[in-house]
Amino acid sequence: MNDTVSPIPTATGVPKVHGQPLEKLPEDLYIPPDALEVFLDAFEGPLDLLLYLIRRQNLNILDIPVFKITQQYIQYIELMRELKLELAAEYLVMAALLAEIKSSILLPRPPPDDAVEQGDPRMELVRRLQEYERFKTAAENLEKLPRVGRDIFVAQARPEVIPQSARLPVPTLRDLLLAFRDAMERSALFKHHEISREPLSVRERMSRILTRLRQGPARFAELIDPAEGRIGVVVCFLAVLELAKSGMLDVQQDAPFAPMLLAPPVHYQEPEPESVDE
């Protein structure tokens, strides 16, 4: 089972290992370099990576070729380090464990009974891999179950008039702000989210303008309430710019110097009487 090698495309640059350009990758390591980051990111940890290395060679966990797997595993780790991917400490711990197993194989074997009693590291690794694989499969099975909101839809209907006594309580401002903080904190951990810079009244005004435009196009002046003064004009203008930028509004001009009309984007076709609450 010789590892055949395949040339690395040069267009995307050559990764380096140990400071030396790595010109050839063993075939079972070959991944299009631009996909590498995504690929390595896809592992749920060292057990997952090991399992992948074993499975891709159609091997049974029970037949782990320790030397080969250790070698491949360490190559991956090196690659991750060279690409400056964030490497969880667990990956290094596993590398050390594999090294320990490898060296224990190189050393004279203790009698088999001792091996079990002393907690043979191979035994331990195989046990952990098997256990992890069970739950990995169980997770895949869970994902396949129908789920409310994705495959199951609950039928809902309510009376038109909701009895006053059964109305929802009003949240306190504190509840609302803490809920917002939690939601944003959680999302910050998922990804970077742009932070809104505009004053909130601009966002609110965006909502109001959209509601108004459902009745038909309007001139900018019609959107302004003179009572709000200059600040009102500025807020309104910012809201229009923001809406235009995000494609939620079209600015139309029928002829040169004609008044500019603000309207919902062209393929909008719901002329609804609307406005329940204003």
Partner 1 sequence: MSDPTVIDDTNEPAPDDAQSQVLERVLEALLLASDQPLSIEQLHRLLGNELGVGKKDLRAALARLDAALAGRAAELCEVASGFRIQVRQEYAEWVSKLWQEKPPRLSRALLETLALICYRQPITRGEIEEIRGVALSPNIIRTLLERNWIREVGVKEVPGRPSLFGTTQQLLDDLGLKSLDDLPSLPEIKDPQQLEAALQRLGEQLHEIPHIADAPSEAIQTPDPDAMSPADPPPTVH
Q: Which of 31, 122, 218, 260 binds partner 1 (CB under 8 A)?
A: 122
Q: Which of 8, 33, 36, 46 binds partner 1 (CB under 8 A)?
A: 46
Q: Which of 80, 132, 223, 262 binds partner 1 (CB under 8 A)?
A: 132
Neighbours of 266 (CB within 10 A): 8
Q: Of all helices (H) and strands (E), which one includes residue 249?
A: none
Interaction between residue 55 and partner 1 (CB under 8 A): no
Instruction: Find the length of the chain.
Output: 278
Least Cβ distance, residue 25 to partner 1 (angstroms): 10
Closest CB to partner 1 among 254 and 277? 277
Q: Give me 222's structure tokens.
A: 């019609």
Least Cβ distance, residue 134 to partner 1 (angstroms): 5
Q: Which 204-263 positions form the footprint of partner 1 (CB under 8 A)?
A: 204, 206-208, 210-211, 213-214, 247-248
Q: Give me 84's structure tokens.
A: 């400056």
How distant, in Å, are the alpha carbons of 30, 127, 133 from that of 35? 10, 32, 25
Site residue total, partner 1 (CB under 8 A): 133
Interaction between residue 39 and partner 1 (CB under 8 A): no
Q: Which residues, 6+ apart, have CB-to-CB distance to 15 below 8 Å?
A: 8, 21, 22, 33, 79, 82, 83
Least Cβ distance, residue 224 to partner 1 (angstroms): 16
